[in-house]
Amino acid sequence: MFYKLTKFVDNLLPKYPNSEYIQVIVYCTKANLSSGDISKKMCDISKKSSNKAPEKNLDIWNYNNNRYKQLLKCDDFSEMEEIFEEAEYGGIPASSICNTDNDIILIAIGPDKKERLSELTTNLENI
């Protein structure tokens, strides 16, 4: 019985979950927000996106409190819209925050598999 339980847990959770599932947060540098505003909005958007994620993704991402996040920057509002739309149409959990002009200034994507998220964000730089 212990063997079956061990096998079940091994199939449910990978050995190295923090390297497989991540959350990506993208900030548009044109928004010119203060560091306090950015950090507050990043917390809010991260929570919104993770609430949209499937339970399996959350379980793996939360395994041993290894909630790996990657922070990226983007220089253009239109590119932010493209990234957000690609994530939503691809079935990846995503949330965004807009400014008063209805431009997307912050996006949280995932948690999801690292490979899926890297396809969306290959041309962006780390903050």
Is it the case that residue 90 has pLDDT exceeding 70? yes
Question: Does residue 94 belong to any structural domain of this protein?
Answer: yes
User: Within 10 Å of residue 94's Cβ, how many Cβ atoms?
Assistant: 27
Query: What is the percent of the chain with per-residue pLDDT over 90, rounded to a whole number?
Result: 61
Residue 6 lies in a domain: no
Out of 42-46, 67-71, 74-78, 80-84, which region has the weakest mean confidence (pLDDT)? Answer: 67-71
Q: What is the pTM of this model?
A: 0.81
Judged against a pLDDT cut of 70, whether residue 78 lies above it is answered with yes
Domain annotation covers residue 2: no
Residue 37 domain boundaries: 21-119
Domains contained in the chain, number: 1
Say if CB 45 and CB 96 are below 8 A apart: yes
Over residues 5-59, the pLDDT tens digits come to: 566 656 665 555 445 889 999 999 999 888 888 889 999 999 999 999 998 888 8
Q: Is residue 8 part of a domain?
A: no
**Domain containing residue 86: CATH number:** 3.40.1490.10
Q: Measuring CA to CA, how many Å separate 100 from each of 83, 92, 94, 103, 104? A: 20, 26, 20, 7, 10
| DSSP codes of every residue in 53-67 | S-HHHHHHHHGGG--
Within-domain flag for 40: yes
Residue 15 lies in a domain: no
